[in-house]
Amino acid sequence: MKKLISLLALVAFALASHAADTKPVETTFQRYWSVYAKKDFVKAAAEVLPSDLEATKAAVLPVFLANQNSKAKDGPEVLAAFFGKTVGKARDTMSAVEVFAGLNRVVAAGSPDLFEVLKDATVAIIFVRAVTADEAEIHFQVMVRGQGDTDAETLVKEEGRWWVKIKDDPKQTAESFKALFAGK
């Protein structure tokens, strides 16, 4: 009986320490989600892995710069959403954060109803799975008007803190916009 109690205590301790280890992951995700859902994409970018932001900028910005005069069906609207108030030569030197914000303005412009309901959505973390010591998956449920859906994000630890990973491959994102601007 003593061995069973000791074993249960050990398991409880292990679970408690594992739960405590997920707090920084959960905190980073909550900071990201709270501003992303309100369309504050610049603040959301502060939680995104900097190397992912740079890779996205390197792949996507040249596509938008090369197609600034696109006459494709949705081209002008996509360009306006992406560049926002950035005009002229300032577009050439957009930061990785500005590119991330621009891409997400395009998403928001294409799905205004979604972002309208997201601002009132609640997010519940279902569980956090440690993939490695420096990578975790956070599984969550988004509740909107009594309806729920689940999703997951990957976070990585670099330089002592957790960062949200960008899900989409930047090169594929760039190819999708090339096709859009080509009218395909």
Determine whether domain 2-181 maps to CATH 3.30.70.
Answer: no
- Average pLDDT in the 146-159 region? 94
Q: Does pLDDT of 1 surpass 90?
A: no
Phi, psi of 145 (to 5 degrees): 50, 45
Q: Which two tokens stand for residue 33?
A: 């989600």
The pLDDT > 90 percentage for the chain reads: 79
pTM for this prediction: 0.86
CA atoms within 13 A on the CB side of 140: 18
Q: In the structure encoding, which two tokens stand for residue 67, read together?
A: 């197609």
The domain ranges of the chain are 2-181
pLDDT tens digits, residue range 37-72?
999 999 999 999 999 999 999 999 999 999 999 999
CA distance 27 to 33: 10
- For residue range 66-120, list pLDDT tens digits in order: 999 999 999 999 999 999 999 999 999 999 999 999 999 999 999 999 888 888 8
Q: Which residue has the higher pLDDT, 183 or 6?
A: 183
